Structure 1
């Protein structure tokens, strides 16, 4: 029971179940839902993959993942035994139609008609098409909301491939049955953007071009590509992060107020933002977009190799591990306000944050020549919270202005651990709530927005690729992108707090 919504009996078929995603994310999330009494009764998990495991081998593999990655952990054997009893495994040849036929017959006949049947594709993207087409041999799927399919990103490599994937899906499943999962949208702080904006009367009047100077969205990772070099060579920062995560965050910040919290209403508002983004011509790419690749350096006190030295990376690779782009949204609310998006691997710290910098006061009578503008920071990682910077008088006999910050942490305020993003998203799939999932037109419009940048970077084999030292915050070209507008990249609020705390401790 979730609120007043009961969940029907559910069976989850995980394709690619022997892989890393299932072990690290999907199964630990399902187990945490189970431990919090949020799973329906009965439920079943069917693992499907090429690996020869058997039920016991599969359960043992999943147990190690649950012990490492779930919030709940395994404290009582009876809890794990009850969960594991609902887990089975079958070896699968992805091209063997007889196995799919047997699976579909099992789901149709072995489970009550009202049960929800979920196909979760935790496989490489190359397997999306054959799996969907094999499932399509059953005519009972299309338009039957009891059957749902979950697709992990990336949703194509460009507009053309995304359109083709959407067509393949639409031949077998209705759009209402299709859940394109982006785990970033399941994070509590990301969801709270809507509540923060539209449940508080103070923000909406100033959430526009008249008061906001610019917006920065940063998703910085300290880790490199590690063993994912093979995948990353075909993705890069633009496809891996900006096309989905960062553009979706920008849509939540920039969207118009919805008339209701209806899933389609919210998705419509986000699509409106994508349509309003000013088109970037091939001639403009060099002015508004920067890419770079990390070279060897020191991250968190440890030496790390450069991207070209990573496993399964081509020696002459031009795949970007950093990307920064300036967007404009051409509508009444945001006309002329730049949105700066940046993401990178092997950067100075792990930090995901949305910062809105407000316009300076038009006139101030104080002696200080420069007063820092007000800033609102929505912190997504590593800690979830919100910081608001204002100005105040510093104690003393003279009028001296100093920036002060009001800050709240989710952990401190609510004193409960936030569910993992996959928990929230899996629960919504079982409930049939598509609000946090990307619709086909959203996916295609996001690729359209980035089309000229992808094309330009792909065809550019002559100009030197900018680089940045691992442990730094990107290349000089990214600094030039924003300083040319008279602005600078804002240090994530979590790092500013650490710096001030260290300085304060040193003065005691």
Structure 2
């Protein structure tokens, strides 16, 4: 991000919702505090709740005190920021509300010298998208007549499958051209995700070896300790496959695997990501059974506290077969990556929280003069996205002393611990880029369609096959079959460390030679859900 944003009025539909309170207002306040927002900027909140503008501003103050990295109680400019927020209560299906919205926006255009630029943010359930878009059209609020522009920001999920995504896209495209649609994948706004391309292309010792000749496998993990919480009803319709694999995980895969783009402009990067998705080897029914694993958490223990199973969560059916864990092995059929497995893993109620990507390089040939030096561990590059942000590199060296013993050492950079760096939240970058019209960190329609085309066959096979749920205990590393997915290839999952530490976590000190625990299925476990003796998977 550089400079100030364009003049604009941001309209947030769902202004009293959880997303707005936790993320959007904090992002806007940080942009304001950092001098990134134009002086010609205002926000209109739209929601059903009856509320005055002053009441709306008080709610924002409380949200910022709780969630923002900047606290308004410590800032003398808070009154100016708060004064830019306005509130309009109406139901999204009420056309008269959009007439009132149009009148208010005209007043604010004059007050803040905004030339008709609008950013409409649909922070609402997908079931409300169609009503909002139709009524924006009827009210003439998105005509996009230059020099003014009107843009649309949408939260996931974008459809439930390819057919529903296509129907939704047709509806949106009646009013907004593709260049005015900003589909959010908040993972792409994270600092270290943006750093992947720089890490690859700005270092001469990475890009030449970023291919099948030097890389053995790539593991992409996004795991959580939390359950579904208040999202049980939504999660019942989505599951880990639709909620995580179709968007976040495949987006991370495209960034890792794409060819070097001709430039870093948004559309150029999108083109390269699309090529990766087109090159994904389709998962046939046979391969779905062989190369994918799904799970659902049962009761267990996390951080010393009991955790309920998924079926006991609010909004979840008592006999639900919705997966809360998904893992799979995929291949990219092109010259760069032919034969290199990409392993994807995501799940809730696992042992740690963390989003980490592991690039395991090929092992050296067995050389006689190293045979008495111990086990050579693979060279490993780890991109740590969340909650620790940084880069980790594992190398082999001789241990100091008279004995010839090779040990793994680590070079570790942490971006957000031990340094005076307060990394921007993902939504700060995403909101700023949408106002500027930069699509680089947003998902284009072709990416959405290709991702659904890849995922739909998996969902179809899973829907037709039986699996005994729950099959992993809360606080474990998921179903044992997930470990088997790699063990049969002579590999193992590298342990996700999570945590916010400046020094290397203990789980990495012996990562080259030690295994880690995978909890067995909990169906045959004791009544309290505590897993029995865990299986320990050893070194390569």
TM-score bracket for the superposition, by shorter chain length: over 0.9
State the Cα deviation string for residues 436-486 of structure 1 (Å, max 9, x = none).
Answer: 0000111111111101011112233x4423511100111011111111111
From 168, 177, 189, the equivalent of 2:171 is: 168
Match of 1:506 in 2: none
From 17, 20, 44, the equivalent of 2:18 is: 20
From 404, 408, 418, the equivalent of 1:403 is: 408
Match of 1:271 in 2: 274
1:497 aligned onto 2:504: yes
- Contact kept in structure 2, 1:121 and 1:152, CA below 8 Å: yes
- Contact kept in structure 1, 2:375 and 2:406, CA below 8 Å: no
1:226 aligned onto 2:233: no
Match of 2:35 in 1: 37
Partner SS state of residue 284, structure 1: helix
User: Residues of 2 paired with 1:371 and 1:312: CA distance?
Assistant: 50
- Contact kept in structure 2, 1:386 and 1:408, CA below 8 Å: yes
1:103-118 superposed matches below 5 A: 103-108=101-106, 110-111=108-109, 112=113, 114-118=115-119
- Contact kept in structure 2, 1:187 and 1:420, CA below 8 Å: yes
Query: Could you say if the C-alpha distance between residues 501 and 330 of structure 1 is closer, same or farther in structure 2, counting changes exceeding 3 Å?
Result: closer
1:438 aligned onto 2:438: no
What is the count of residue pairs matched by the alignment?
500
- Contact kept in structure 2, 1:8 and 1:114, CA below 8 Å: no
TM-score by length of 2: 0.89
TM-score by length of 1: 0.95
State the Cα deviation string for residues 152-171 of structure 1 (Å, max 9, x = none).
Answer: 01111111111111111111
User: Residues of 2 paired with 1:142 and 1:470: CA distance?
Assistant: 50
From 251, 254, 257, the equivalent of 1:251 is: 254
Match of 1:297 in 2: 300
User: Residues of 2 paired with 1:247 and 1:162: CA distance?
Assistant: 16
- Contact kept in structure 2, 1:50 and 1:92, CA below 8 Å: yes
From 77, 81, 86, the equivalent of 2:84 is: 86
Partner SS state of residue 407, structure 1: strand
Query: Could you say if the C-alpha distance between residues 21 and 412 of structure 1 is closer, same or farther in structure 2, counting changes exceeding 3 Å?
Result: closer
Q: CA deviation at 1:56?
A: 2.0
Match of 2:158 in 1: 155
Q: CA deviation at 1:29?
A: 0.8
User: Residues of 1 paired with 2:98 and 2:242: CA distance?
Assistant: 31
Partner SS state of residue 378, structure 2: coil
Partner SS state of residue 379, structure 1: strand
From 205, 208, 213, the equivalent of 2:208 is: 205
Partner SS state of residue 152, structure 2: strand
State the Cα deviation string for residues 125-154 of structure 1 (Å, max 9, x = none).
Answer: 110111111112255625446101100011
From 473, 476, 481, the equivalent of 2:480 is: 476
State the Cα deviation string for residues 199-223 of structure 1 (Å, max 9, x = none).
Answer: 1111111000001000000111011
User: Residues of 2 paired with 1:478 and 1:110: CA distance?
Assistant: 55
Match of 2:191 in 1: 188
Query: Could you say if the C-alpha distance between residues 261 and 415 of structure 1 is closer, same or farther in structure 2, counting changes exceeding 3 Å?
Result: same
Deviates more, 1:210-219 or 1:78-87: 78-87
- Contact kept in structure 1, 2:14 and 2:122, CA below 8 Å: yes
- Contact kept in structure 1, 2:388 and 2:417, CA below 8 Å: no
- Contact kept in structure 2, 1:291 and 1:466, CA below 8 Å: no
User: Residues of 1 paired with 2:420 and 2:211: CA distance?
Assistant: 33
Q: CA deviation at 1:77?
A: 5.9
Partner SS state of residue 411, structure 1: coil
Query: Could you say if the C-alpha distance between residues 416 and 122 of structure 1 is closer, same or farther in structure 2, counting changes exceeding 3 Å?
Result: same
User: Residues of 2 paired with 1:25 and 1:248: CA distance?
Assistant: 21
1:370-385 superposed matches below 5 A: 370-385=375-390
State the Cα deviation string for residues 266-314 of structure 1 (Å, max 9, x = none).
Answer: 0000011000000011232111111110011111111110001111110
User: Residues of 2 paired with 1:117 and 1:324: CA distance?
Assistant: 40
Match of 1:339 in 2: 342
Query: Could you say if the C-alpha distance between residues 224 and 65 of structure 1 is closer, same or farther in structure 2, counting changes exceeding 3 Å?
Result: same
Segments of 5+ residues of structure 1 without an aligned counterpart are 504-508
- Contact kept in structure 1, 2:41 and 2:114, CA below 8 Å: no
- Contact kept in structure 1, 2:4 and 2:37, CA below 8 Å: no
From 309, 318, 342, the equivalent of 2:312 is: 309
User: Residues of 1 paired with 2:395 and 2:273: CA distance?
Assistant: 30
- Contact kept in structure 2, 1:321 and 1:345, CA below 8 Å: yes
User: Residues of 2 paired with 1:317 and 1:110: CA distance?
Assistant: 49
Q: CA deviation at 1:41?
A: 0.7
Q: CA deviation at 1:33?
A: 0.9
From 67, 73, 89, the equivalent of 1:69 is: 67
Deviates more, 1:81-90 or 1:336-345: 81-90
State the Cα deviation string for residues 103-123 of structure 1 (Å, max 9, x = none).
Answer: 234435651563421100000
Q: CA deviation at 1:369?
A: 5.2
- Contact kept in structure 2, 1:293 and 1:320, CA below 8 Å: yes
Partner SS state of residue 277, structure 2: helix
Give every structure 1 segment of 4 or more consecutive aligned residues whose post-TM-superposition deviation is greater than 4 Å.
142-145, 493-496, 500-503
